[in-house]
Amino acid sequence: MALSEKTILQVKNLSTRFFTDEGVVKAVEDVSFSLRKGEIMGIVGESGSGKSVTNLSIINLVQSPPGKIVGGEVIYNGEDILKMNEKKLREIRGAKIAMIFQDPMTSLNPFLRISTQIIETIQLHQKLNKKDARKRAIEMLTMAGIPAAEERINSYPHQFSGGMCQRVMIAMGLSCNPEILIADEPTSALDVTIQAQILDLMKDLTRKFEAAVILITHSLGVVAGMCDTIYVMYAGRIVERGLTEDIFENPKHPYTKGLISSVPRLDKLGTERLFSIPGQPPNVIDLPPCCPFFPRCAQALDICKTQYPPSKEYDNGHVASCWLGNSGEGA
């Protein structure tokens, strides 16, 4: 499906902090991006890179205290979500911007039947009576691949497998025809066979409903066949962004290259040791104003240790923040 030129979400210079006893955690630092109608965007990075906090900030769900959105704008339909009151936010969450959380087994209330949880959402946002809401819920569960949905809708979450619970979450997320679906590592708790099924299901259903998607994951392998664009995050910042094919064919940032190299390949299986990025992600408490990746980078320059690199744009909107590209070396 061809992407629309219509921008439905614009994030501008978003910054989120967590104020702890150990210091100020810069979880998200000056993040900006645009999402177009029908686009599937992947946000990739290791644990602690700021992916989930970025998307919780978008719908103003950062827990306070200790968290606080300290700067930026999130423009949806011409309005800044961060300036909306709670009543307006509730009208948007679930109805216009829906979110699938990371672990379906803990996201669903174990004490309530699936019917109660999904019908309540539909009634709240679609203004349907209980009978019509139930009909809509069964229709969505069937679309999500739940067999015998009319009977299974009365089940409790523990009566479903992890994959089926994730299908329920997808059905709930899409039940109100949202314009934007945020999926926070929707396959992390599933085995690889079920992962592929869930990703295919998400892609098919979001295309059917013409919803834009923000897919959060730690694996570039997950987004390879799913996303139109990829944003790579490290230490709370976007270090590289571009079309999926450009990111895979010609990565510019050493961190992106490391993530790609760490994905197992069938054509090289068993012939060489799987690559691993050395070191550990940085502590994002009071980060110095330099490139946070330099301690793990084999190509680090002296300037990397003192200054954060500016962004450099290549072809097709491909952008990376790395001194190697700006200095004419390496990238």
Q: What is the mean pLDDT of residues 290-315?
A: 91
pLDDT at residue 16 above 70? yes
Interior CA angle at 327 toward 251 and 46, to 5°? 40
Please check whether residue 262 is in contact with residue 268, taking contact to mean a CB–CB distance below 8 angstroms.
no
Q: What is the mean pLDDT of residues 230-251?
A: 95
Nearest Cα to 199, choosing from 222, 217, 178, 172? 222
pLDDT at residue 187 above 80? no
Give the pLDDT score at 1.
44
Give the pLDDT score at 267.
66
Query: How many Cβ atoms from other residues are within 10 Å of residue 177's Cβ?
Result: 13
Q: What does the pLDDT look like over 1-14, one tens digit per residue?
A: 445 578 999 999 99
pLDDT at residue 285 above 80? yes
pLDDT at residue 189 above 70? no
Q: What is the mean pLDDT of residues 66-85?
A: 93
DSSP secondary structure letters along 204-239: HHHHHTT-EEEEEES-HHHHTTT-SEEEEEETTEEE
Give the pLDDT score at 281.
87
Nearest Cα to 200, choosing from 159, 167, 157, 245? 167
For residues 3 and 197, the model is more confident at 197
* Confidence band for 80, pLDDT divided at 50, 70 and 90: very high
pLDDT at residue 216 above 80? yes
Query: How many Cβ atoms from other residues are within 10 Å of residue 2's Cβ?
Result: 5
Give the pLDDT score at 270.
62
Give the pLDDT score at 54.
95
Give the pLDDT score at 309.
93
Alpha helix locations (H) across the chain?
51-58, 86-92, 104-107, 114-126, 130-143, 149-152, 162-174, 192-208, 220-223, 244-249, 254-261, 323-327
Nearest Cα to 295, choosing from 255, 330, 251? 255
Compute the mean pLDDT over every residue in the chain, rounded to the nearest whole number.
87
Q: What is the mean pLDDT of residues 72-88?
A: 92
Q: What is the mean pLDDT of residues 264-283?
A: 76
Could you tell me whether strands 180-184 and 212-217 are parallel, antiparallel, or unpaired per DSSP bridges? parallel
What share of the chain in percent tops pLDDT 70? 94
Measured distance CA(268)–CA(286) in Å, rounded: 41
**pTM for this one?**
0.88
Domains of the chain: 7-96+178-269 (3.40.50.300), 109-177 (no CATH)
- Return the minimum-mean-pLDDT range out of 44-53, 136-145, 252-261, 279-288: 279-288
Give the pLDDT score at 329.
53
pLDDT at residue 174 above 70? yes
Q: What does the pLDDT look like over 117-140, one tens digit per residue?
A: 999 889 988 888 999 999 999 999
For residues 80 and 65, the model is more confident at 80
